[in-house]
Structure 1
């Protein structure tokens, strides 16, 4: 009886040990599975962040930009050893020929350079990721961010400071006793300044140039508080007739009073040509210039160039924002890393040094401050245009998709006006008619 009890006890103990081992095995397996899937939910982000990634990126530009960008990518990979890059770089034309094909096949690179002239088109195609969750506080001026948003969302991280202003021949104006243009002048003050300046200029010299481009009038229309000519991806078109007639009648009077050059002389101007540039040649005292373009004019006229923001109206005037961006593709499988990278691109000081001015004046004031001591006067003039324009700036309005032919037609019709070949009224009718037709087509009507 005792032997049987001992045997039964031994069997029960063995069974308990087996059950215990099985129980322990289940716990170990669970632990191993947790480890294989990222340990815990809490650690998953950390594990994903450490996983090897390859970010594809494409941009356009000259060789200097290519070399600087590749060095910046190397710095990022040194700081983030799990990230490598697959870069593609090309000329402007090649970039915009390739991107539509990539967009159609949903194979756009994780990160891509984007331009203000095309960003709305690619947002409407659903190609670009919303980047509004990237905190740019203290890096980019809030007014610039607001002006960059499309439908209340941010689709591109701005890379550089750019603005449209007016350059003037400060040496010549001072010598002739003509007051220099002043910051935040209104359109009425701009027109009156031109009239007053003409009285002190010798024959054959003019205070301002004529205008035949759509954007010049669009600056005026939006400064007066009216919607831009094109909006909603080209579905809305508004060419305010009352403002159009007022603006171009002022220039018609200027042609009669020889405040602007005659049409044949204006047609022969060629910006940045030493002999044919309207201002460098000494013929016109002012001309349009941007942050990026004024340096070429300064090189033609060292120490003689001053700058001021575009004329303003009740709503403001001109624009001051980046026109070049880094965007993230909606098809990217590495969106978090791509977002981290595009913010790093404008905040890392080591990257800022190697990138220099290859995409213009850096948007980040801290990066610009580090570069400023080595900047030339021509680069500082660009910064001055930006600073003068910032507080009154309106958004940058690019032509809507499908309106390139209209842009060309606008210029040709207004050139015909300057040559006296047709009336302002006739030009308005043709320009307005084509614009409305294109808007109806864009809206599917």
Structure 2
């Protein structure tokens, strides 16, 4: 990934990687025909449908970028469709089934192979070096979108995992500092101290993200290289990870699922209220959290041992073009504008992850706030203390994510033993992934 990392303004979404935001909306430009001329330079009307998920901050600046593009391309109309994370996928699924996907769709890595595997996304390779300028984008950044024999998504940026915390709250829990090389034992001991002080240590770990990280530290992966089975054979790894996390929650050192369900947004979180030390999440979510906390914050590295084997730089998300689109070339030109235009990126400011264009990175660096500079430093540090990421999640990963979420909640409430959960997960995951053979 790019050696000169840049930073991010607002959250991809809610805590632990969940993408929260306002409900679905659309633009008022619904009258133009999506099947209009595919040549924006010809002056003939062109309509592009653009869809994304996110929160209010993302919605507002994205619409400003759209306005900027339309101002420069008078014959182009861009219809926008946006929602929070969960509602977005509920809307996209039936559109895909009907062959009516928006021309440009924001794709999460968890859903990427599902849509690419069903040939619902167009191969962007023919557009690279033509409609999409890739001269200032690293090969690693481009390769993040590779799936099978094609490349079905433009990487919009990279992020890194870490523990984003408030030192003042940490000290109230009787903990002086978090060491760079802290271990799971350190984490459990800190959780116990926080509980004694009446403070949560965190609000949990998004199962598929952090279990995958834990497996990497053990030399294993969540999925095998072919995407047709799990990447680990020893269920004691599942037992060790989820057993520990469930014990911390059951002890009261972290809020249970029903308590977390009452949190409606970043501002409503326990970290903001001073009742929790911090949050485990992606680096591009730090700035929004810090603004809500409105106190000095820090970013601690992931838990070890062997943290460097587990940590990786991850594509935040992709812009993909629907295979059903009648305006693929025009959609590619807008994606080019998004990733390469400096003025547009002065609005975006890396909110969707570290910009993939080195030119954009250099241009927006002076505009960053102190909190964003913290993210800059952390991502730069992560690049020097991480390993290559795993292949994109295989088809069926969305079902597996739901399974992990359900099992982790059942473990919190003693509805299942961790050993039985490990067996249940393996059986279900094997059944789901075997369909990819």
Fold conserved (TM > 0.5)? Answer: yes
On the 8 A contact 1:272/1:300 being kept in 2, the answer is: no
- Rounded to whole Å, the distance in 2 between the matches of 1:418 and 1:254 is 9
Indicate yes or no: 2:66 matched with 1:70.
yes
**Structure holding more helix per residue:** 1
Q: Cα distance, 1:307 vs. partner?
A: 0.8
On the 8 A contact 1:163/1:290 being kept in 2, the answer is: yes
- Rounded to whole Å, the distance in 2 between the matches of 1:127 and 1:120 is 10
On the 8 A contact 1:55/1:110 being kept in 2, the answer is: no
Q: TM-score, normalised by structure 2?
A: 0.70
Indicate yes or no: 2:218 matched with 1:221.
no
Report 1:8-407 matches (<5 A).
51=42, 54=46, 56-61=48-53, 63-77=59-73, 84-92=75-83, 96=89, 99-100=92-93, 103=96, 108=101, 110-132=103-125, 134=128, 139-151=136-148, 153-173=150-170, 176=174, 178-182=176-180, 185=181, 189-194=182-187, 197=190, 203-205=197-199, 207=201, 211=205, 213-229=207-223, 235-238=228-231, 240=233, 241-251=235-245, 261-262=252-253, 267-269=258-260, 277-311=269-303, 313=306, 316-332=309-325, 335-336=328-329, 338-356=331-349, 359=352, 362-391=355-384, 392=386, 394-395=388-389, 401-402=395-396, 404=398, 406-407=400-401
Partner in structure 1 of residue 21 of structure 2: none
Partner SS for 1:425? helix
Q: 1:355 to 1:268 in 2, by over 3 A?
A: closer
Q: 1:210 to 1:409 in 2, by over 3 A?
A: same
Q: Deviations over 1:100-138 (max 9, x none)?
A: 565456565554433333222221121223334625766
Partner SS for 2:219? coil
On the 8 A contact 2:144/2:315 being kept in 1, the answer is: no
Partner SS for 2:410? helix
Aligned residues: 382
Partner in structure 2 of residue 4 of structure 1: none
- Rounded to whole Å, the distance in 2 between the matches of 1:418 and 1:95 is 28
Q: 1:334 to 1:273 in 2, by over 3 A?
A: closer
RMSD: 4.1
- Rounded to whole Å, the distance in 1 between the matches of 2:119 and 2:272 is 44
Max radius of gyration: which structure?
1
On the 8 A contact 1:147/1:396 being kept in 2, the answer is: no
On the 8 A contact 2:159/2:283 being kept in 1, the answer is: yes
Q: Deviations over 1:269-293 (max 9, x none)?
A: 4668689734344444332122343
Q: Cα distance, 1:425 vs. partner?
A: 0.8
On the 8 A contact 2:257/2:409 being kept in 1, the answer is: no
Q: 1:379 to 1:139 in 2, by over 3 A?
A: same
- Rounded to whole Å, the distance in 2 between the matches of 1:210 and 1:267 is 12
Partner SS for 2:178? coil
- Rounded to whole Å, the distance in 1 between the matches of 2:270 and 2:40 is 56
- Rounded to whole Å, the distance in 2 between the matches of 1:438 and 1:274 is 34
Q: TM-score, normalised by structure 1?
A: 0.69
Q: Cα distance, 1:232 vs. partner?
A: 5.2
Q: Cα distance, 1:397 vs. partner?
A: 7.5
Gaps of 5+ in 2: 1-38
Q: 1:404 to 1:122 in 2, by over 3 A?
A: closer
- Rounded to whole Å, the distance in 1 between the matches of 2:153 and 2:61 is 19
Q: 1:288 to 1:314 in 2, by over 3 A?
A: closer
Q: Cα distance, 1:98 vs. partner?
A: 5.6
- Rounded to whole Å, the distance in 2 between the matches of 1:275 and 1:103 is 34
